[in-house]
Amino acid sequence: MPFRWSARATQTVSAAAMSALLMASAMKHFREPRFFEQVVPDYLCREAPIAGGQSPEGREIPATDGVRRPLAVMSREEWIAVSGLLEAGAAVGLLIPGIRRATATAVTAMFTVFLAGHVDALRRAYGPAGSPAQRNVHAVRLPLQLPLILWAWSLRKPGRRR
């Protein structure tokens, strides 16, 4: 008896693949947080982008650059950790058929919000402190958001039963 792919099976496999991608990214947030530092916009961070020295214990002290940031509710490290936790939660949620639609909607919104960070990172890469390597990396990362947004949105549709 040959196996026939139904819309429901395709939906489940697609959700599992997105879940695996999100979980891998979530784990990278905690293993290599520096990879995500450039994608967190400065205007969301309590500290300035340049460190202000070290404490007696050897920890970096954030510098203040005199700019008021009304959206700065967390440090860059906290934003990275929170986004990693959100991605891990979304990875689990996509695997549960009963909440897949709501999770896919949230993942679509999350990827759409992440666009701001990718645009800001690309803007800074082309600024005076940017490097050719940063320009290349962010020029690739930004357009990858659109397929991710569309993929997450497609997971909102329930698979048809046959």
pLDDT at residue 83, as a whole number: 96
Ranges in the chain, pLDDT < 70: 1, 3, 48-68, 159-162
Determine if the pTM surpasses 0.85. Answer: no
User: CA–CA separation, 162 vs 160, rounded Å?
Assistant: 7
pLDDT at residue 129, as a whole number: 86
pLDDT at residue 60, as a whole number: 54
pLDDT at residue 162, as a whole number: 45
Q: Are 152 and 108 in contact (CB under 8 A)?
A: yes
pLDDT at residue 51, as a whole number: 44
User: CA–CA separation, 62 vs 137, rounded Å?
Assistant: 26
pLDDT at residue 19, as a whole number: 97
Tell me the per-residue pLDDT of 111-122, one tens digit each, with 9 for 90 and over.
999 999 999 999
